[in-house]
Amino acid sequence: MSDTSTKNRTETELKIARPKLHKVILLNDDYTPREFVVKMLESVFRIGEPQAMAIMMTAHQKGSAVIAVFTKEIAETKADEAIELSQQFGFPLMVTTEPEE
Ligand code: TYC
């Protein structure tokens, strides 16, 4: 391979560097029903019932749980959707995002 094509390949590799992923985090509270949290995880995050139940129980027992990781924009959109749905039902459920280490 010539010097030129090696240089081009290196430039391409730099351009397609993986974007930083952001965690979507479910926070516990004393008011949102467990059943609603599970349904929200199923509908907003397309998570199956057994895994949704496990994530909900982790947040319930430990205070928080990682739902999934996405690019920054998708993570923030999903968190907004979860909060919006909860507010429509009158629940104070909170979902936040943070960059992965
Ligand atoms: N702690 C809530 C209850 O006992 C259930 C719950 C679980 C709420 C997880 C939020 O992220 C949560 N009804």
Closest listed residue to residue 29, CA positions, set 73, 90, 97: 90
Q: Which ipTM was obtained for this model?
A: 0.99
Which residues, other chains included, contact 40 with Cβ-Cβ below 8 Å and sequence gap of 6+? 82, 85, 86, 93
- Summarize pLDDT for 18-74 with one digit per residue, the tens: 889 999 999 999 999 999 999 999 999 999 999 999 999 999 999 999 999 999 999
Question: Could you give all domains of the chain from N- to C-terminal order, each with its CATH number?
Answer: 19-99 (3.30.1390.10)
Q: How far is CA 56 from CA 22, 63, 72, 82, in A?
A: 19, 10, 22, 13
- In testing the pocket of ligand 1, which one of 24, 25, 26, 28 has its CB within 8 Å of the most ligand atoms? 28
- In testing the pocket of ligand 1, which one of 26, 27, 30, 32 has its CB within 8 Å of the most ligand atoms? 32
Taking 70 as the threshold, does the pLDDT of residue 3 lie above it? no
